[in-house]
Amino acid sequence: MPNATKNSTAMANAIRVLAMDAVQQANSGHPGAPMGMADMAVALWSRHLRHSPTNPQWLDRDRFVLSNGHASMLIYALLHLSGYDLSVDDLKAFRQMHSKTPGHPEVGITPGVETTTGPLGQGITNAVGFALAEKLLAAEFNREGHRIVDHHTYAFLGDGCLMEGISHEAVALAGAWKLNKLIALYDDNGISIDGQVTPWFIDNTPKRFEACGWNVVGPVDGHDIDAVDAAIERAKLSGDKPTLIVCKTHIGKGSPNRANTAKAHGEPLGGDEIKLTREALSWVHEPFMLPEEVYADWNAKADGELLVNDWNARFDAYKAAFPELAAEYVRRMAGELPANFSEIAVQAVAAAHDKAETVASRKASQQALEHFTAALPELLGGSADLTGSNLTNTKSTPPVRFEDDGSVAVTELGKPGRHINYGVREFGMAAIMNGVALHGGFIPYGGTFLTFSDYSRNAIRMAALMKQRVIHVFTHDSIGLGEDGPTHQSVEHAASLRLIPGLDVWRPADTTETAVAWSIALANKNRPTALLLSRQNLPYAPKVDADVITQGAYILAEPSEVGLKKKPVAVIIATGSEVQLALHAQAELAKQKIPVRVVSMPSTTVFDRQDVAYKKAVLPNKLPRIAVEAGVTDFWWKYGVDAVVGIDTYGESAPAGVLFKHFGFTTENVVATVRKVLSIKK
Amino acid sequence: MPNATKNSTAMANAIRVLAMDAVQQANSGHPGAPMGMADMAVALWSRHLRHSPTNPQWLDRDRFVLSNGHASMLIYALLHLSGYDLSVDDLKAFRQMHSKTPGHPEVGITPGVETTTGPLGQGITNAVGFALAEKLLAAEFNREGHRIVDHHTYAFLGDGCLMEGISHEAVALAGAWKLNKLIALYDDNGISIDGQVTPWFIDNTPKRFEACGWNVVGPVDGHDIDAVDAAIERAKLSGDKPTLIVCKTHIGKGSPNRANTAKAHGEPLGGDEIKLTREALSWVHEPFMLPEEVYADWNAKADGELLVNDWNARFDAYKAAFPELAAEYVRRMAGELPANFSEIAVQAVAAAHDKAETVASRKASQQALEHFTAALPELLGGSADLTGSNLTNTKSTPPVRFEDDGSVAVTELGKPGRHINYGVREFGMAAIMNGVALHGGFIPYGGTFLTFSDYSRNAIRMAALMKQRVIHVFTHDSIGLGEDGPTHQSVEHAASLRLIPGLDVWRPADTTETAVAWSIALANKNRPTALLLSRQNLPYAPKVDADVITQGAYILAEPSEVGLKKKPVAVIIATGSEVQLALHAQAELAKQKIPVRVVSMPSTTVFDRQDVAYKKAVLPNKLPRIAVEAGVTDFWWKYGVDAVVGIDTYGESAPAGVLFKHFGFTTENVVATVRKVLSIKK
The answer to whether residue B311 is domain-embedded is no
Which candidate from B98, B161, B383 shows the least CB-CB separation from A652?
Answer: B98
Does residue B3 carry a pLDDT above 60?
no
What is the number of domains present in chain B?
3
Q: Report, as residue numbers or ranges, the catalytic residues of B.
A: 426
User: A72-82 and A8-26 helices cross at what angle (nearest 10)?
Assistant: 120
The answer to whether residue A584 is domain-embedded is yes
The answer to whether residue A432 is domain-embedded is yes
Contact of A265 with chain B, judged by CB distance below 8 Å, is answered with no
Low-confidence ranges of chain A (pLDDT < 50): 1
Query: Is ipTM > 0.90 here?
Result: yes
Q: What is the mean pLDDT of chain B?
A: 97
**Helix, coil or strand: residue A354:** helix
The answer to whether residue B249 is domain-embedded is yes
**A672 and A526 co-located in one domain:** no
CA distance B326 to chain A (A): 31
Give the CATH number, domain containing residue B381.
3.40.50.970
Cα distances from B330 to residues B277, B416, B442, in angstroms, run 48, 19, 12
Residue A502 structural domain: 340-532
Task: List strands edge to edge, sheet with B215-221.
Answer: B63-66, B153-157, B182-188, B243-248, B215-221
How far is B137 from B60, CA to CA, in rounded Å?
11
**B520 and B590 co-located in one domain:** no
- Which residues are within 8 A (CB) of A651 and not within 5 positions of it... i.e. 6 or more apart? A479, A481, A485, A486, A489, A491, A659, A663
**A149 and A190 co-located in one domain:** yes
At A219, give phi and psi (nearest 5°).
-60, 140
DSSP characters over A273-329 = HHHHHHHHTT--PPTT---HHHHHHH--HHHHHHHHHHHHHHHHHHHHH-HHHHHHH
How far is B530 from B473, CA to CA, in rounded Å?
6
How far is B150 from B29, CA to CA, in rounded Å?
36
Residue whose C-alpha is closest to residue A17's, from A234, A287, A250, A207: A287
**B471 and B571 co-located in one domain:** no
pLDDT category at B453 given cuts 50, 70, 90 is very high
Residue B656 half-sphere exposure, CB side, CA atoms within 13 Å? Answer: 19
**B616 and B583 co-located in one domain:** yes
Query: By the 8 A CB rule, do A505 and A532 touch?
Result: yes
For position B5, what pLDDT does the model report?
A: 83
Strands (E), B88-209: 153-157, 182-188, 191-192, 195-196
pLDDT category at B81 given cuts 50, 70, 90 is very high
Residue whose C-alpha is closest to residue B666's, from B596, B599, B582: B582
The answer to whether residue B329 is domain-embedded is no
Number of C-beta neighbours around residue B638 at 10 A: 19
Burial (CB < 10 A; 0-12, 13-18, 19+), residue A166, is buried
Pick the residue from chain A with its C-alpha nearest to B170. A165
Pairing mode of beta strands B359-360, B215-221: unpaired
**A410 and A466 co-located in one domain:** yes
The answer to whether residue A317 is domain-embedded is no
Residues of chain B contacting A499 with CB distance shorter than 8 Å: 492, 495-496, 632, 634-635
Query: By the 8 A CB rule, do A583 and A542 touch?
Result: no
Distance of CA B600 to the CA centre of its chain: 29
**A517 and A557 co-located in one domain:** no
For position A179, what pLDDT does the model report?
A: 98
For position A5, what pLDDT does the model report?
A: 83
Residues of chain A contacting B105 with CB distance shorter than 8 Å: none
Final residue before a domain boundary, out of A290, A305, A320: A305
Residues of chain B contacting A488 with CB distance shorter than 8 Å: 103-104, 118-119
583-642 in chain A: CB under 8 A from chain B: 632-635, 637-638, 640
pLDDT digits (tens, 9 = 90+) for B384-424: 999 999 999 999 999 999 999 999 999 999 999 999 999 99
Residues of chain B contacting A635 with CB distance shorter than 8 Å: 499, 634-635
Which candidate from B29, B199, B454 shows the least CB-CB separation from A421?
Answer: B199
Give the CATH number, domain containing residue B668.
3.40.50.920
How far is B63 from B44, CA to CA, in rounded Å?
12
H or E element in which residue A375 lies: helix A361-375
Distance of CA B530 to the CA centre of its chain: 12
Burial (CB < 10 A; 0-12, 13-18, 19+), residue A452, is buried
Final residue before a domain boundary, out of A497, A532, A567: A532
Backbone φ/ψ region at B323: left (φ over 0), alpha (ψ -120 to 50), beta: alpha
User: B361-375 and B511-523 helices cross at what angle (nearest 10)?
Assistant: 40
pLDDT digits (tens, 9 = 90+) for A48-57: 999 999 999 9
**A150 and A20 co-located in one domain:** yes
How far is B662 from B630, CA to CA, in rounded Å?
12
**A570 and A512 co-located in one domain:** no
CA distance A102 to chain B (A): 5
CB contact under 8 A, A458 and B452: yes
For position B543, what pLDDT does the model report?
A: 87
CB contact under 8 A, B193 and A120: no
Contact of A383 with chain B, judged by CB distance below 8 Å, is answered with yes
CA distance B362 to chain A (A): 17
How far is A399 from A397, CA to CA, in rounded Å?
6
Residues of chain B contacting A423 with CB distance shorter than 8 Å: 163, 192, 194, 197, 200-201
Does residue B432 carry a pLDDT above 70?
yes
CB contact under 8 A, A465 and B484: no
Residue whose C-alpha is closest to residue A33's, from A62, A75, A64: A75
**A418 and A381 co-located in one domain:** yes
Final residue before a domain boundary, out of B473, B503, B532: B532
- For chain B, give the number of residues: 682
The answer to whether residue A326 is domain-embedded is no
Check A106, A114, A169, A426 and give the catalytic one: A426
pLDDT category at B545 given cuts 50, 70, 90 is confident
**A586 and A499 co-located in one domain:** no
How far is B374 from B517, CA to CA, in rounded Å?
17
Contact of B166 with chain A, judged by CB distance below 8 Å, is answered with yes
| Eight-state DSSP code of residue B400 | P
Pairing mode of beta strands B537-538, B419-421: unpaired
CA distance A318 to chain B (A): 33
For position A2, what pLDDT does the model report?
A: 52
Quickly list H helices, B183-270: 205-211, 225-235, 263-266
Residues of chain B contacting A387 with CB distance shorter than 8 Å: 193-194
**A346 and A487 co-located in one domain:** yes
Which candidate from B388, B499, B635 shows the least CB-CB separation from A193?
Answer: B388
For position B33, what pLDDT does the model report?
A: 96
The answer to whether residue B143 is domain-embedded is yes
Annotation says A426 is catalytic: yes
82-111 in chain A: CB under 8 A from chain B: 95-99, 102-104, 106
- Which residues are within 8 A (CB) of B536 and not within 5 positions of it... i.e. 6 or more apart? B360, B480, B482, B577, B656
How far is A483 from B98, CA to CA, in rounded Å?
11
